[in-house]
Amino acid sequence: VPLMTTKKIAWKSCIEELLWILRGDTDAKILQHKGVKIWDGNSTRKFLDARGLQHYPEGVLGPVYGFQLRHFGAKYSTRFSDTSQIDTSLIGGEDQLENIIHTLKTDPFSRRIYISYWNPVDLDKMALPPCHTSIQFYVNEINGQKRLSCHFTMRSNDLGCGFSFNIFFYSVLTYIIAMKCDMMPNELVYSVGDCHIYKDHVEPITKQLKRKPCSEPVLIVDPSVKYKSFSEITIEDFDIIGY
């Protein structure tokens, strides 16, 4: 997997965020309790109030990635922010994740295996509009084996910090989806609109570019993931060899 070796990446934090999104969770406190601080700056009382979201409890982000993935089009409520506390079947909306898995199993060569996080109706309800905007999956067949490729598009991407997380994040997602659909992962394709480096990242990136990359590490996914619901998958189902 493309897990950057010229600097240390908190790969467990990355997978924890992925699983949080796949469950449909939108409360940053769930990640904080696991030691993952990715959303801390965008979930404070001050930040939410500045976005006009005074009615959200601190930590609640609104209808961001997980909600759009699992309940696109439904009306958001802060009660939905921790999916372990509710019956998610009552929320409604389109479950884009289950829809694409169904399509991959029944019509794998479709050109419409597509997920959108960008929902204009909900943007003003989000603590932060999505930087990742869409995912499209493609399947080809080689020697009788179906192979899954993932093309993800980002509206805006911070090359210094975010990029290394993003490519690993979507690699792991591709492995999970491929496993559930009896496929092998193939290619990861990345597109970005606004690609930038912050001024305070220039010096560390300059140092990083002088380092020699190590061999790519190997991702191990427990076979049980194929049969687990997304609410049952945990960080213990993943390991990295050679990092």
Catalytic annotation, residues? 131
Radius of gyration of the chain (CA): 18
Burial (CB count within 10 angstroms: exposed 0-12, middle 13-18, buried 19+), residue 127: buried
What is d(CA 173, CA 202) in angstroms, rounded to the nearest whole number?
Answer: 30
Residue 184 bridge partners (DSSP)? 147
Q: What is the number of residues in the chain? A: 243
Calculate the alpha carbon distances from 120 to 58, 76, 84, 193, 234 in Å: 23, 14, 27, 18, 32
Please tell me what DSSP assigns to residue 72. Answer: B
Q: At 233, phi and psi to the nearest 5?
A: -70, 135
